[in-house]
Amino acid sequence: MSVDLGTDAGVPKSDSEAAPNDIEESIRKDDLFHLLQSSRRRFVLAYLQELNQEVSLGELADQVAAWEHNTTTDKLLSNDRRKVYISLYQVHLDSLEEYGIINFDKDRVFVTRTEKASQLDPYVDTPNGNYHELQAETQSRELLIQRSLVICGIVLFLLSIGHIAL
């Protein structure tokens, strides 16, 4: 089902234009813009879309923080992770759950996406594309940097002992 962009400011279509289930299940245009205005909510939706399974709030916060800081989850600062965790817990996940986009189990601290979330799929994507491709690209870049540093170290060593003349 597609997002209902045919409603304006909460005024539903007439019964002849849409079935009652379509009206109940679709997201109003204003609500759609509200949900997508926050990059954190878009990152949450992108990660849940990518994994398509139940995710702990900790794992979700780690990935969102990594995307926000253009790094990997293992290089995150604990303060950055904590800020995102608190923000997701207190604000963003409640908003998404209110509109039926996710289920947020506060007791177990797990998040799952609902069928209604598919209405937002065309509007969300992981930064720079696929999550797994992004992780592989980051690891590849780090390996290239490490190899370059080793080569520079060898050249400097050879220069210092006089095996290479300038």
pLDDT of 73-119, one tens digit each? 989 999 999 999 999 999 999 999 999 999 999 999 999 999 999 88
Domain check: are 98 and 137 in the same one? no
Domain check: are 77 and 158 in the same one? no
Domain check: are 102 and 133 in the same one? no
CATH number (domain holding residue 39)? 1.10.10
Domain check: are 142 and 112 in the same one? no
Domain check: are 123 and 158 in the same one? no
Provide the residue type at 117 as one letter.
A
DSSP 28: P
Residues in the chain, how many?
Answer: 166
Please give the helix or strand (H or E) that residue 153 lies within, else none.
helix 131-161
Q: How many domains does the chain have?
A: 2
Domain check: are 103 and 161 in the same one? no
Domain check: are 83 and 147 in the same one? no
Model confidence over 7-44: pLDDT tens digits?
444 444 444 444 334 434 678 888 888 889 999 999 99
Q: Give the structural domain span for 149.
A: 128-166
Whole-structure pTM value: 0.63
Domain check: are 115 and 132 in the same one? no
Domain check: are 103 and 44 in the same one? yes
Q: Which two tokens stand for residue 16?
A: 């002849």
SS3 content of the chain, % helix, strand, coil (to 5): 60, 5, 30
Domain check: are 115 and 86 in the same one? yes
Q: What is the pLDDT of residue 136?
A: 61
Pairing of strands 55-56, 110-113: antiparallel
